[in-house]
A and B are shown apart, each in its own frame.
Chain A
Amino acid sequence: MAEIREFEDKAKKVFSAERKEDIWVLILAAITVILGLTGVITPKTFPSLFF
Chain B
Amino acid sequence: MTDTNSGVMKYVPGFIFCIILGWLALQWDQSIHKWQKDYQESEKILKPYLNEGKPLLPFDEYVAKSEGKYKEKLSAFEHGDIKEKPKKPHLLQKIDYEIIAATKEIPFKFRFGERMIQFQLTYVAVLLLGGMLLRNTIGLPKFILPGTVIARPVIKPGIVLLGGYYLWSNLLKVGIFALLLVLIFIVGTTVLVSIIGRRMKQDDGLMGVMAAGTGICGVSAAVAVAPVVNAKPRDFFYAVGTILLFGTVALFTFPYIGKALGMSEPVFGAWVGTAILNTAQLVAAATWYGHDSLLTANIINIVRVGFIPLVVIYCIWFYVIRQAKTEGRHEKINTWKVVKEKFPLFILGFFAMVTLNEFGVFTEDHRTIFGKQFLQIFFAVGFAGVGLNIAFEDLKKAGGKAFVIGFLAATLKAVLAAIVVILIGTEAFKVK
A interface vs B, CB < 8 Å? 3-4, 7-8, 11-12, 14-15, 18-19, 21-26, 28-30, 32-33, 36-37, 41-43, 45-47, 49-51
Secondary structure call for the B interface: helix
Chain A residues with Cβ below 8 Å from B342 are 15
Please determine whether A50 and B369 come into contact, CB atoms closer than 8 angstroms.
no
Please determine whether B157 and A49 come into contact, CB atoms closer than 8 angstroms.
no
What are 6 inter-chain pairs, A to B, with CB distance below 8 A?
A7-B236, A19-B345, A22-B156, A25-B157, A29-B349, A49-B23
Chain A residues with Cβ below 8 Å from B30 are 47, 50
Q: How far is the CA of A24 from the CA of B151 in the complex (A)?
A: 12
Please determine whether A33 and B353 come into contact, CB atoms closer than 8 angstroms.
yes
Q: How far is the CA of A42 from the CA of B377 in the complex (A)?
A: 14
* Distance between A48 CB and nearest chain B CB, rounded to angstroms: 11
Please determine whether A42 and B349 come into contact, CB atoms closer than 8 angstroms.
no
B227 located at the interface, meaning its Cβ lies under 8 Å from any Cβ of chain A in the complex: yes
Please determine whether B224 and A15 come into contact, CB atoms closer than 8 angstroms.
yes
Q: Given A32-B374, A43-B365, A25 and B349 touching (CB < 8 A)?
A: yes
Chain B residues with Cβ below 8 Å from A36 are 366, 369-370, 374
Chain B residues with Cβ below 8 Å from A43 are 365, 368-369, 373
Nearest neighbor of A32 in chain B, beta-carbon distance: B374
Give the contacting residue for A11; candidates B153, B236, B370; CB below 8 A: B236
Chain A residues with Cβ below 8 Å from B368 are 43
Q: Across chains A and B, which 4 residue pairs bring their CB atoms closest together, nearest first? A: A46-B373, A22-B345, A29-B160, A25-B156
Please determine whether A11 and B227 come into contact, CB atoms closer than 8 angstroms.
yes
Q: How far is the CA of A28 from the CA of B345 in the complex (A)?
A: 14
Give the contacting residue for A18; candidates B223, B231, B348, B370; CB below 8 A: B223
Nearest neighbor of B369 in chain A, beta-carbon distance: A36
Give the contacting residue for B153; candidates A21, A33, A37, A49; CB below 8 A: A21
Please determine whether A29 and B161 come into contact, CB atoms closer than 8 angstroms.
yes
Please determine whether A25 and B160 come into contact, CB atoms closer than 8 angstroms.
yes
Nearest neighbor of B374 in chain A, beta-carbon distance: A32
Chain B residues with Cβ below 8 Å from A23 are 345
Secondary structure call for the A interface: helix
* Distance between A45 CB and nearest chain B CB, rounded to angstroms: 7
B401 located at the interface, meaning its Cβ lies under 8 Å from any Cβ of chain A in the complex: no
Chain B residues with Cβ below 8 Å from A42 are 365, 369
B233 located at the interface, meaning its Cβ lies under 8 Å from any Cβ of chain A in the complex: yes
Nearest neighbor of B372 in chain A, beta-carbon distance: A46
Chain B residues with Cβ below 8 Å from A41 are 369, 374
Nearest neighbor of A47 in chain B, beta-carbon distance: B30
Please determine whether A37 and B366 come into contact, CB atoms closer than 8 angstroms.
yes
Nearest neighbor of B162 in chain A, beta-carbon distance: A29
Nearest neighbor of B220 in chain A, beta-carbon distance: A18
Q: Given A15-B224, A50-B27, A26 and B369 touching (CB < 8 A)?
A: no
Chain A residues with Cβ below 8 Å from B349 are 25-26, 29-30
Q: How far is the CA of A7 from the CA of B220 in the complex (A)?
A: 16
Q: How far is the CA of A50 from the CA of B232 in the complex (A)?
A: 48
Chain A residues with Cβ below 8 Å from B157 are 25, 28-29, 32
Q: Given A7-B232, A8-B227, A45 and B373 touching (CB < 8 A)?
A: yes
* Distance between A6 CB and nearest chain B CB, rounded to angstroms: 8
Nearest neighbor of A11 in chain B, beta-carbon distance: B226
Chain B residues with Cβ below 8 Å from A37 are 361, 366
Nearest neighbor of B377 in chain A, beta-carbon distance: A46
Given contacts A7-B233, A11-B226, 6 further A-B contacts (CB under 8 A): A3-B233, A22-B345, A25-B156, A25-B157, A28-B157, A46-B374
Chain B residues with Cβ below 8 Å from A46 are 369, 373-374, 376-377
Chain A residues with Cβ below 8 Å from B369 are 36, 41-43, 45-46
Nearest neighbor of A30 in chain B, beta-carbon distance: B349
Q: How far is the CA of A33 from the CA of B165 in the complex (A)?
A: 13
Q: How far is the CA of A50 from the CA of B31 in the complex (A)?
A: 9
Q: How far is the CA of A45 from the CA of B373 in the complex (A)?
A: 9
Q: Given A4-B230, A18-B223, A32-B161, A26 and B346 touching (CB < 8 A)?
A: yes
Give the contacting residue for A22; candidates B346, B353, B365, B376; CB below 8 A: B346
Q: How far is the CA of A30 from the CA of B160 in the complex (A)?
A: 9
B285 located at the interface, meaning its Cβ lies under 8 Å from any Cβ of chain A in the complex: no
Q: How far is the CA of A23 from the CA of B374 in the complex (A)?
A: 19
Q: How far is the CA of A5 from the CA of B288 in the complex (A)?
A: 41
B167 located at the interface, meaning its Cβ lies under 8 Å from any Cβ of chain A in the complex: no
Nearest neighbor of A15 in chain B, beta-carbon distance: B223
